[in-house]
Amino acid sequence: MNNTNQSSNEGFLRLPEVLKLIPVSKSTWWAGVKSGRYPKSIKLSDRITAWRVDEIRQLMHTLESAND
């Protein structure tokens, strides 16, 4: 799967990878997606849901700024 190193802002992350970066429960994550707090998912296929790396990075930056 794609990693989130600083040189790559393209690609996708699956939910387990996202939750390693944004430590919340699955139900909290999905509630945040539904409410608009977290980015919308992208369906890569019938059984594969992912999020854009750049949108997750932006969310991480926003959350870090809110904690400062």
Residue 2 covered by a domain? no
**Contact indicator for 52, 12 with CB cutoff of 8 Å:** yes
Residue-level pLDDT at 8: 63
Q: Is 5 part of a structural domain of the chain? A: no
Range of 35's domain? 12-67
Report CA-CA distances (Å) from 52 to 6, 19, 65, 67.
Answer: 14, 14, 20, 23
48 within domain boundaries: yes
**pLDDT per residue as tens digits for the range 10-67:** 899 999 999 999 999 999 999 999 999 999 999 999 999 999 999 999 999 999 998 8
> Residue 16 falls within a domain, yes or no?
yes
Q: In the predicted model, is pLDDT for residue 4 greater than 60?
A: no
pLDDT given for residue 66 in this prediction = 87
